[in-house]
Structure 1
Amino acid sequence: MAHPLQIRAEVLGITPVGAWRQVLLHAPGVASRVRPGHFAALAVGGSESSMLLRRAFWIHRADPAAETVSLVVAERGRGTRELLRTRVGAAVDLVAPLGTAFPQPAGPMTALFVGAGYGSAPLFPLAEQIAAQGGGVGFILGAGTADQLFGVDAARALTPDVLVTTNDGSAGIKGRVILPLAEAIKAIGAEAVYCCGPRAMLRAVTEVATAEGARCFCAVEEDMACGVGVCNTCVLPVVGEDGVSRFVRSCVDGPCFDGTRVRWDDIGTIPADLDGAAAMGVH
């Protein structure tokens, strides 16, 4: 689990990146604590706003020397709209880094990174780390349309093994990221697949990766209202290392999970065999 700070972070820039926005923050003390897969939570609207809940965003980059972090933001509603209209030089209330990061490889390995839309944002630091350790990396980056892709140029700067998919065929292969996944795993000999995106994609990637003999680690995009494990709005049924299924909080026990341990079919339900289900009145 991360060791977060709560600070007033200065907005250094808000830059369009296709359909998304990249927010650069001066966040002293935060960047050195960030690991791939961590996220940040921002208060929006100011101290007198009726928007009480923080908004969670993936940390795309962290630069300890410059004391900066960059977040990738999609304009979804009133909160993100107000955030993206923050003027440069203003301060925002930031809690970061949050969550449990991707497991760090102990040595050289070959990994495939699969991201949908801005879900690719947290994947790049880990891919760069694996490459720096002498490992091999590949990418499948997908989106609904070409402008919703994120990080294609950065991926191609790191490796020639980059596949792009779009649902409408406006860039790369027409279809979803799952379409070329099995062949891509075989082509680079991937030992592990790291992925981030919508729940249905994560489930499908886990199934294919497991069938191909690769480990699969998923960064889930659940709604995390508090980000610190208090509200329990982001729980998922997950099988523990002891074989017992429990509800765990995505914001502190995740958002990065072994995909084979998440009970994808049971999300949104209370499985009868879940630890504590009887106390909840489930039989």
Structure 2
Amino acid sequence: MAHPVRSDAEVLSVASEGVYHRLVLSARDAAPRVRPGHFATLAVGGPQSAMLLRRAFSIHRADVEAGTVELVVAERGEGTRELARARPGDRLDLIAPLGTPFPLPDGPVSALLVAADYGSAPLLALGEEIKRRGGQVGFILGAATADRLYGVEQARALTQDVLVVTEDGSAGLQGLVTDPLAQAVKAIDATVVHACGPMPMLREVSAIALGLGVRCHTAVEAAMACGVGICMTCVLPVVGEDGVSRFVRSCTDGPVFDGARVRWDDIGTVPPDLEGAAAMGGQG
């Protein structure tokens, strides 16, 4: 469970990396609490802004000694464009860390880390931690085009087992990030898959891993209006340890879930067997 703190975080640097922007923020109270898979939220526009909702980002990495937290931002709308224009010395309202991180092994494991676009941001620190515990890692990094890849060189600094896949063939293999997944699992004898990216990709990754008998942990990309479990806009249907399906909040119960327990086909619906579904269906 995360123990978040709110910080008036100074922007130390902003670097363009492909189509993305990497922000390094001073956050001495938050940095020691961060684990791979945690996320952070930033307020945008200032107190008088019409942009009321905070923006959520996976934490790329945290440096306890430097007291910093790093985020990778893709420009998608007015709020993220404003963050991309931040300059050193600016101050941002940061809450971190939030959510449930990736589970870490007690000892050496062989793990395959799979990401689309900048979904690789939290996986690179995860790979470092797995290696620190004596394990080995491999990566599959994919995107539609080469400029939308993130962290390829960082991954190659960790392992020679890095596959790059782009839909247009502008870098690496041509195809989808899931195309070489089964072969990659077997190549490194992976016992666990960790994945971060859009829901359709995570659904396919989970299905392939399940078919191979490999555990799969997925960091979902869900729209989060509050980030702290109040608004219920980020719920997903998930099968609990007791076998009962319930809506759970991506921001507090996740964003990392056991891929075998997420009901991927039912996302966006209210399954009739979901606990409480009858009451939900009766609301006018």
Q: Equivalences for 1:18-33 in 2 at 5 Å?
A: 18-33=18-33
Once the two structures are superposed, what CA deviation does each residue of 1:92-136 show, in whole Å capped at 9, x if it has no partner?
100000000011111110000001010010001111111111111
How far apart in 2 are the matches of 1:201 and 1:281?
Answer: 29
Unaligned 5+ segments in structure 2 are none
Unaligned 5+ segments in structure 1 are none
Q: Which residue of 2 aligns with 1:37?
A: 37
How far apart in 1 are the matches of 2:113 and 2:35?
Answer: 16
Amino acid across the alignment from 1:176:
L
Amino acid across the alignment from 1:61:
R
Q: Equivalences for 1:201-240 in 2 at 5 Å?
A: 201-240=201-240
TM-score, length-scaled by structure 1 = 0.98
Please tell me the root mean square deviation across aligned C-alpha atoms, in Å: 1.0
TM-score, length-scaled by structure 2 = 0.98
How far apart in 1 are the matches of 2:54 and 2:139?
Answer: 31
Q: Equivalences for 1:224-263 in 2 at 5 Å?
A: 224-263=224-263
Q: Which residue of 2 aligns with 1:178?
A: 178
Give the drift of 1:87: 2.4
Q: Which residue of 2 aligns with 1:77?
A: 77
Q: Following TM superposition, where does structure 1 have runs of at least 4 consecutive aligned residues deviating by more than 4 angstroms? A: none
Amino acid across the alignment from 1:75:
E
How far apart in 1 are the matches of 2:195 and 2:87?
Answer: 33
Give the drift of 1:84: 1.5
How far apart in 1 are the matches of 2:26 and 2:6?
Answer: 13
Q: Which residue of 2 aligns with 1:167?
A: 167
Give the drift of 1:203: 0.3
How far apart in 2 are the matches of 1:154 and 1:80?
Answer: 24
How far apart in 2 are the matches of 1:83 and 1:170?
Answer: 28
How far apart in 2 are the matches of 1:208 and 1:127?
Answer: 21
Q: Which residue of 2 aligns with 1:128?
A: 128
Give the drift of 1:151: 0.7
Q: What percent identity do the matched residue pairs reach?
A: 66
Equivalent pair of 1:45/1:83 in contact (CA under 8 Å): no
Q: Which residue of 2 aligns with 1:95?
A: 95
Give the drift of 1:199: 0.3
Q: Secondary structure of the equivalent of 1:260? A: coil
